[in-house]
């Protein structure tokens, strides 16, 4: 997701990509649509978290470090048909961890689960447009004048990227050691973090990341530009770079979701096109 929270993208996992233990296996076929591929990716991604649990047809990831919704949610496996008892077990798990029950999924990929969850008192939080970019479709955009853009891995740069991200998204929490470690873990598995800096002052001003591909699917997330530097083409250049980097390491589908038309324009400019929608629901 181009937006933050970067729900499925910033979780620490226990191993690097070659050893990644994915407990939900994606079935990949060239004929699968982008929404179907992303639905499989979401279940596989959350199932690779060391802290994940499976409750009936739900893969659940709950963080012991933070109650932030981005790190505490469940994903129904595609075409899930949960029983009332399984939904009860899901609610009990969130309650035991003092977390708000919340799910994310590709719209249309879990219709029976959605109906059952709504009956059980969940309400719709958002439906967000999803965009995707296939190899060859990323539009090479020039780095804006007076800006440098690079992929980074040093803790200091990752701290700067996270600071820009928090500032851009209005997150009040300071950057923590765990945040930096999550990005190091992401890079260790084959993902990328991009950072834009002012070429003169070296002040960080824009950032974004892309996850390592799982069965050819990768997600762009946490794209943000400081207010002072917006409207110069930084985010669109970052997205184009991130999509290309993911394609280079084997992604055939790079996707993200967007908050609204203004943000969508940034990604359309970078070569992404509409490819479906994602749903967030919760029970408060």
Ligand X SMILES: CC(C)(COP(=O)(O)OP(=O)(O)OC[C@H]1O[C@@H](n2cnc3c(N)ncnc32)[C@H](O)[C@@H]1OP(=O)(O)O)[C@@H](O)C(=O)NCCC(=O)NCCS
Of 126 and 151, CB closest to ligand X: 126
Q: Does 3 bind ligand X (CB under 6 A)?
A: yes
From the list 180, 154, 150, 153, the residue with the least C-alpha distance to 165 is: 180
Of 61 and 144, CB closest to ligand X: 144
Q: Does 274 bind ligand X (CB under 6 A)?
A: no
Site string for ligand X, 91-130 (x = CB under 6 A): ----------------------------------------
Helix or strand (DSSP H, E) at 91? helix 84-96
User: Which residues, 6+ apart, have CB-to-CB distance to 33 below 8 Å?
Assistant: 276
Q: How many residues bind ligand X (CB under 6 A)?
A: 22
CA distance 222 to 182: 13
Strand 273-282 relative to strand 192-198, pairing: unpaired
CA distance 233 to 86: 47
Q: Per the structure block, which two tokens stand in for 102?
A: 């919340």
Of 30 and 231, CB closest to ligand X: 231
Site string for ligand X, 195-214 (x = CB under 6 A): -----------x--------
CA angle, corner 26, sides to 20 and 30, nearest 5? 125
Site string for ligand X, 217-256 (x = CB under 6 A): ------xxx----xxxxxxx--------------------
Contact set with ligand X (CB under 6 A): 2-3, 144, 168-169, 206, 223-225, 230-236, 258-259, 262-263, 265-266
């Amino acid at each position: 997701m181009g937006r933050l929270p970067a729900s499925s993208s910033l979780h620490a996992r226990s191993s690097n990509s070659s050893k990644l233990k994915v407990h939900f296996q994606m079935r990949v076929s060239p004929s699968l649509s982008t929404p179907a591929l992303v639905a499989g990716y979401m279940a596989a991604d959350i199932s690779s978290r060391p802290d994940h649990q499976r409750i009936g047809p739900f893969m659940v990831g709950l963080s012991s470090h933070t109650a932030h919704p981005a790190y505490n949610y469940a994903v129904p496996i595609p075409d899930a048909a949960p029983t009332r008892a399984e939904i009860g077990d899901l609610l009990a798990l969130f309650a035991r961890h003092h977390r708000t029950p919340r799910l994310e999924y590709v719209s249309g990929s879990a219709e029976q689960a959605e109906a059952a969850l709504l009956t059980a008192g969940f309400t719709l939080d958002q439906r967000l447009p999803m965009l995707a970019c296939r190899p060859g479709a990323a539009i090479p955009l020039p780095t804006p004048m007076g800006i440098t853009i690079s992929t980074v891995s040093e803790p200091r740069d990752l701290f700067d990227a996270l600071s820009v991200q928090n500032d851009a998204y209005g997150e009040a929490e300071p950057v923590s050691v765990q945040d930096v470690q999550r990005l190091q873990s992401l890079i260790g598995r084959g993902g990328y973090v991009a950072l834009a800096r002012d070429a003169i002052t070296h002040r960080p001003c824009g950032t974004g990341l892309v996850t390592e591909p799982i069965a050819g699917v990768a997600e762009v997330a946490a794209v943000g530009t400081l207010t002072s530097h917006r409207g110069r083409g930084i985010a669109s250049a970052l997205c184009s770079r991130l999509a290309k980097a993911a394609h280079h390491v084997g992604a055939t589908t790079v996707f993200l979701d967007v908050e609204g038309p203004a943000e969508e324009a940034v990604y359309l400019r970078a070569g992404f096109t509409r490819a479906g929608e994602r749903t967030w629901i919760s029970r408060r």
